[in-house]
Structure 1
Amino acid sequence: MTIRRHLLATLALCACCLPALAQLSPKPELGLWETRTKMTVNGRDMLADMRTAQEAMMKSLPPEQRAQMAEAMKAQGAGAPSETDQECLDAKSLADWADPKARLREMEKDAPGCKFDQTAAGGATLQFKGRCTDPEGFTGDVTGTMTMKGPREWTALYTGKGQSQGRPMDMRVETRGRWLAASCGAVKPQR
């Protein structure tokens, strides 16, 4: 599993945990949300490393190829790895988020080779644990806690300890979601 694929699976893991918040109080407000994520692997900021590598690769290309690559990435919706993402939470999305077991199954789909179990949910906090066994990627244990700070803010911390391709791997993902506006504008709900 490449670092990029591993990062995407981890970010999906973070994003997929948000739906279980419908079981907690207070419930998140509908509208446009911003999520900021910081991921470190063995103490290194992976998003920053990926951005630096992508910038170096783009700079090494001749101007014509650089323009073609930038256009191709734009057409595919790919760009520099970002710490910030936006998501639209509408009434249907909130209703879909009511089943924590469904959310765990969704997490397992986004992170093949991983099994997750909810360990606690109540009040403003959700906790889970999991085990991943991916011979080409991360193999180890994952734990996470997500807390609603109010209807317009949540925080999460996920840690993983194991190995990747035979090398020790300590992963830490810190995420903060905050409500931006009642209207989602051009951002469409995910289905």
Structure 2
Amino acid sequence: MKPLFRLAAAASLLVAAAPAQAQEVLPGLWELSSDNMQVNGQPLPPMQELLGQVESLPAEQRQMLEEAMAGKGIQAGGQGLRVCLSEAQVKAQELPLQDAQSGCSQEITERSERLWKFRFRCPDAEGQGETRFVSEREFVTRIDSRFNTAGQAGSSRMETRARWLGEDCGELKPRP
């Protein structure tokens, strides 16, 4: 699998993981990291290695990828990808996957104080997962999905750890 496709696939999966939040999590800047990602049963390199591949891209390609990610409310940084959750998103207790621009929809199939199970469907992916809330500053999401991205169909599995970095999201805007 080409490095750029691997990063795009990983970013897409992390975006799916990012939105799972409950009332007890804090609004602000969150970092999502995953070292346990598989596509079509094959392990992907750790997130740090995939992000390192971005640095080796030609400047124009790197800028296009960074702009595309920023348009989806994602920024590379630290140990993984960063997203900003607004106070309204946290209070709504909804998965921000569901918006008119993305064409994605989701359904929470089970919800308790510490565990959410969900299904999602996007134009190029569908699947299910669960989020376990460790504290207001940390949660872990597992996603199993099927996708068709850039003409390549397949399946993926990943586990992502999200940790709260602080209230200030800097220049990163919440996902619409």
TM-score by length of 2: 0.64
Choose the corresponding residue for 2:62, options 65, 70, 73.
73
Of all paired residues, the percent bearing the same amino acid is: 20
Q: As a proportion of its length, which structure holds more helix?
A: 1
1:152 Cα deviation after fit: 1.6
Residue 86 of structure 1 is matched in structure 2 by 82
Aligned residue pairs total 159
Residue 33 of structure 2 is matched in structure 1 by 36
Q: Render the CA deviation track for 1:110-138: whole Å, top value 9, x for unaligned.
A: 3x4x543210111111110234564xxx5
Distance 2:144 2:91 in 1: 24
Going from structure 1 to structure 2, the CA distance change for 1:166 and 1:9 (only over 3 Å counts) comes to: closer
Residue 89 of structure 2 is matched in structure 1 by 96
Residue 12 of structure 2 is matched in structure 1 by 9
Give the partner amino acid of 1:98. K
Residue 172 of structure 1 is matched in structure 2 by 157
- 3-state DSSP of counterpart to 2:19: helix
For the 8 Å contact 2:26–2:90, the answer to whether it is kept is no
1:30 Cα deviation after fit: 4.2
How does 1:1-191 map onto structure 2 within 5 Å? 3=5, 5-18=8-21, 21-22=22-23, 27-38=24-35, 39-42=37-40, 43-45=42-44, 48=49, 52=53, 55=56, 58=57, 69-70=58-59, 73-74=62-63, 77=66, 84-89=80-85, 93-100=86-93, 103-106=96-99, 109-110=101-102, 112=103, 115-131=105-121, 134=124, 138=125, 141-161=126-146, 165=151, 169-181=154-166, 183-184=167-168, 186-190=170-174
Q: Render the CA deviation track for 1:68-122: whole Å, top value 9, x for unaligned.
A: x33773587469x776123444xxx12333334563523x753x4x543210111
Q: Render the CA deviation track for 1:50-72: whole Å, top value 9, x for unaligned.
A: 855974xx5xxxxxxxxxx3377
